[in-house]
Amino acid sequence: MFGNSSDDCPGQNQETSPSYEIDSRVERETWPRAKNKFKKQDIASFGQKYLSEGITQIALLLSEETGIKLFTLSGGVFINEFVTSYITNKLSNSKCRVFRNIKVPSGDGGIALGQAIIGLNNVI
């Protein structure tokens, strides 16, 4: 489902900043056969669960490799309640602590706030 990418990320040292990726071949291979056999809601549920499980496995692997036990879930994908709850529950059950945005929106509103803070920091 996921793995450590063998491709170097621009500007990153692979030894100190490994890149992990979710293998989406399962979805790409399954979709053409599934679209006429299953309801759209079921296909969407599969995609959400697959993404959630992939992110969880990467987080747990990083935790195992580095000892990190604190994770912050932020960004547009975490507007999705299923994805957020699934990952939070799995990480919490593995003795990890999860933080989520409460006062700042996970999507574009959070990006705008971050840009404003950086802008103010550069001006003042």
* CA gap 90, 53 in Å, rounded: 9
Pick the residue with more confidence: 110 or 51?
51
HSE (CB half, 13 Å, CA atoms) of 16? 3
Pick the residue with more confidence: 81 or 6?
81
Select from 48, 57, 47 the least CA-distant residue to 21: 57
Question: What pLDDT is stored for residue 11 in this prediction?
Answer: 40
Phi and psi at residue 63, to the nearest 5°: -60, -45
* CA gap 45, 54 in Å, rounded: 14
Average pLDDT, rounded, for the chain: 80
pTM for this model (two decimals): 0.69
pLDDT tens, 48-91? 998 999 999 999 999 999 999 999 998 888 889 999 999 999 99
* CA gap 101, 99 in Å, rounded: 7
Domains plus CATH for the chain?
Answer: 2-123 (3.30.420.40)
Question: What pLDDT is stored for residue 52 in this prediction?
Answer: 95
* CA gap 94, 111 in Å, rounded: 30
